[in-house]
Structure 1
Amino acid sequence: MKYRTLGKTGLNVSVVGVGTWQFGGEWGINYEQKDVNAIIGKAKELGINLIDTAECYGDHLSESLVGEAIRGDRKDWIVATKFGHHFHGNFDRTDGFDPQDVVRQLDASLKALQTDYIDLYQFHSGPDSAFDQDVLWETLNRQVQAGKIRHLGISIGSNENIHQTSQATKVNAEAIQVVYNRLDRAPEKEVFPSCEKQNLGVLARVPLASGFLSGKYKPGAQFPSNDVRSRWDQIKLDTYAKEVEAIQRDEVPPGTDMAAWALAWCLKNPAVTTVIPGCKDPAQVAANAAAVELV
């Protein structure tokens, strides 16, 4: 495994992390604790030390599964989670960015994760109107001073949200999470230059384009109703699949695993600190970790 410093945080993170939205049950699989233990165990074996989760991947469900999996070795992990939403059922959330509500979310996340501190606590894809509350950031910075949070971050909802990115240093946020992959290069225009100017760590989420950059989905692919991709327009799905076929033909070296290539492609951008792909089982963890050989 290779490691990079996450911007101003000073945290030394593995360049490949573990994304855990799937543990909340919206990617076609319902996970049990033993499944998560196996995934996290494989990640640790391979030198991965970063886990990204969120309050609304289930009702703190993903956090609870992660918390139990790392309970015996919490100090070995850098745990990133998020705030700003309440989960009511699959694909059903409401916003919750009121400062006092956010403190309640933080305490619920700490309980679910079985820890007394969160390494990176991220504003989760909220609108600018919620972001621009001075009292929210004042409240969060008091939680940093209290030791519940080590570092603040912003998970921007739009890949081109330069407003929130440009204000990061002002609100004491030290990392930006953004969708970035070979099919979506929007952050390169403004977001990444702003991150580099401010020395912000960058977590690239959806680096495999929701699995499409693994190369295994073809035009016409369909997904079960409990998979978030089933809610996408079929034209979008087919467009992704066709673009990936062209990339696989024209850009991926023969004999190279496409998923590893796609992760390495992200990591070769100097603005990107780490990628946080999801993984359905230990074999996918190992396949993701293999990207470091191509960086």
Structure 2
Amino acid sequence: MKYRTLGKTGFKISDVSLGTWQLGGKWGAPFDEQDAQATLAAAYDAGVNFFDTADIYQEGLSEKAIGTFLKGKTDKVYVSTKIGRKLDPHVAAGYTPANIDAFVDASLQNMQVDALDNVLLHCPPTAVYYNPEVWFELDRLKKIGKIRNYGVSVEKTEEAIKALDYDISTVEIIFNMFRLKPANLFFKLAQAKNVGILARVPLASGLLSGKYSAETKFGAEDHRSYNRDGSAFDKGETFSGVDYLTGVKAANELKQRLGTEQLAQTALRWILMFDAVTTVIPGASNPGQIARNVSASDVPALTDEQMAIVRDVYNRLIKNPVEYLW
């Protein structure tokens, strides 16, 4: 495992981390505490020292499982959690100092800690980026010691750029072989402000595993079935906003032209080719997936020719309309 510094936080974190949206159960499946603890243990044993979670993942059970797991651990594991999506409706007006305080206090209780390593606003509506009161409240919580760092998880690259107006430490953004726009300008701006970047949805909801076909079926409770049109939440969260059949075609071409049978590892290593990225956070719902993910840290660097292949496939098959929407 290799480690990088998470911007101004100073945290030295594993370049492959653990996303816990699926912790203890695949999408739509019941939470399983035993599977969750086994998955966290496998990541910890592999040298992963950064867990990404959210207060709404499994209705708080993800945070609770992490808190339970970390009790008594001698090696430091940093936890980044997200707040805001418990708002119903999820609208900008709900991002008040009182609600932010309540969300932070709930996460502190769930993880049984005195301070949160990193707190991200969870893909807030665009208007929130233009409300300084929200960000100043996070400054206050940092000053009194309830949180150590804060930032935002974004849907759009433009939101990530706007967030740099505030004293954020980290930005979590969708970045993968099907979502290249963040590297065009945002990465350079973030580096100039020493803001760490967490690359989320790195495998485009599994498309970049190279294992799906036109005939692949997903469960009714799986967002890859019900959110392709964005009816439940931003459609960019599902397959990175790529039309499913187009994504299958692009993944197959990448697999062939890059000469790899392990497209998932190659796709994760591609993200790490960008030094602005601190860590990539693939999800895992069982220990077996951990080994696949962490192996990406040791995959050889992609060649200039391979990097050009990724750009070519993106430009021909993905860029329009993905780049213009996010």
Residue 48 (structure 2) pairs with residue 56 (structure 1): no
Q: Is the strand fraction higher in 1 or 2?
A: 1
Q: Which residue of 1 aligns with 2:33?
A: 33
Aligned residue number for residue 73 of structure 1: 73
* CA-CA distance at 1:147 after TM superposition: 1.3
Find the partner of 2:256 among 249, 266, 269.
Answer: 249
Question: How far 1:12 moved relative to its partner?
Answer: 0.4
SS at match of 1:277: coil
Query: Shift of residue 61 of structure 1?
Result: 2.5
Q: AA paired with 1:151? A: N
Aligned to 2:109: 111
**Aligned-partner Cα distance in 1 for 2:39–2:176:** 23
- Secondary structure of the residue aligned to 2:90 is strand
Distance 1:190 1:77 in 2: 31
Where in structure 2 are the equivalents of 1:1-295 lying within 5 Å?
A: 1-23=1-23, 27-73=27-73, 76-86=76-86, 94-95=90-91, 96-158=94-156, 160-161=157-158, 163-168=159-164, 170-233=165-228, 236-251=243-258, 253-254=259-260, 256-294=261-299, 295=301
> CA–CA distance in 1 between the matches of 2:134 and 2:228?
36
- What's the TM-score, normalizing by structure 2? 0.82
Provide the secondary structure at the position in 2 that maps to 1:184. coil
Distance in 2 of aligned mates of 1:64 and 1:200: 28
Q: Say which SS state the counterpart of residue 149 (structure 1) adopts.
A: coil
Alpha-carbon shift at residue 94 of structure 1 (Å): 2.8
1:166 Cα deviation (Å)? 4.0
Q: Write the letter of the residue equivalent to 2:247.
A: Y
Q: Could you tell me whether the CA contact under 8 Å between 2:118 and 2:150 is conserved in 1?
A: yes
Q: Which amino acid aligns with 1:242?
A: K
Aligned partners of 2:84 and 2:124 also within 8 Å: yes
- The two structures have a TM-score, normalised by structure 1, of 0.90
Q: Following TM superposition, by how much is the alpha carbon of 1:75 offset from its aligned partner in structure 2, in angstroms? A: 6.0
Is the Cα–Cα contact under 8 Å of residues 25 and 58 in structure 1 kept in the other structure?
no
| Partner Cα separation in structure 2 for residue 75 and residue 153 of structure 1 | 24
Counterpart AA for 1:94? H
Partner deviation per Cα, 1:119-152 (whole Å, 9 max, x = no partner): 1111211123122222222211111111111111
- Conservation of the 8 A alpha-carbon contact between 1:85 and 1:97: no
Alpha-carbon deviation of 1:26? 7.0
Query: Alpha-carbon deviation of 1:214?
Result: 1.2
The count of residues paired between Structure 1 and Structure 2 equals 286
User: How far did residue 240 of structure 1 move?
Assistant: 1.3
Aligned to 2:235: none
CA change 1:39–1:26 in 2 (3 A) is closer
The offset of 1:53, in angstroms, is 0.5
1:86-137 deviation digits (Å, cap 9, x = unpaired) = 177xxxx634411110100000011111211111111211123122222222
Shift of 1:222: 1.9
Look up the equivalent residue of 1:109 and give its one-letter code: S
Q: Bigger CA drift: 94-103 or 116-125?
A: 94-103
Deviations 1:48-84 (A, max 9, x none): 0000011222322221222222223286210000111
Letter in 2 for 1:165: I
Distance in 2 (alpha carbons) for counterparts of 1:269 and 1:224? 34
Counterpart-to-counterpart distance in 2, 1:233 and 1:166 = 27
The one-letter amino acid of 1:6's match is L
Contact 2:27/2:221 (8 A) holds in 1: yes
Cross-structure match for 2:310: none
Q: Which amino acid aligns with 1:211?
A: G
State the identity %.
35
Q: Which amino acid aligns with 1:243?
A: A
CA contact (8 A) 1:179 1:205 kept: yes
**Structure 2 unaligned residues grouped into runs of 5+:** 230-241, 302-326
SS of the equivalent of 2:284 reads coil
Gaps of 5+ in 1: none
Cα separation, 2, equivalents of 1:45 and 1:191: 34
